[in-house]
Amino acid sequence: MQGHPDEIPFDYSGGIVLVSAAPFGGGPTSSGNTIQRNTAYRNAPADIVDHSGGANTFWHNFCSTSMPGGLCQGSVRRTV
C-alpha cells in the first residue's frame, strides 16, 4: 500500500487502519487479530494506525510510521 493521501475528512485514515466499532454504533472490539507481512509507505497520518482498543499482534510489517509507535519494526512481534 503506497501513497494513500489523507484527503478524506475522517478521523480514521491511514494505510492499514484498525478502529473500534463504538463510533459506528457498537459491535465487538477488534481484538485477537494478527497483522503481518505487510508493506505500507507514504500514508497519512501513518502507515499503520491502531485505534482498536483491543489486543492485536503486529509482526513483520515494513513501514515508516505508525500510531502508536513501534509497529513498523520488521520482524519484531508486538501486541498492543
pLDDT digits (tens, 9 = 90+) for 36-55: 999 999 999 999 999 888 88
Q: State the pTM of this model.
A: 0.77
Do the domain assignments include residue 57? yes
pLDDT tens-digit profile of 4-22? 555 544 567 889 999 888 7
Do the domain assignments include residue 2? no
Do the domain assignments include residue 68? yes
Do the domain assignments include residue 5? no
Domain count for the chain: 1
Contact present, 60 and 35 (Cβ < 8 Å):
no
Which residues constitute the domain of residue 39? 16-79
Do the domain assignments include residue 31? yes
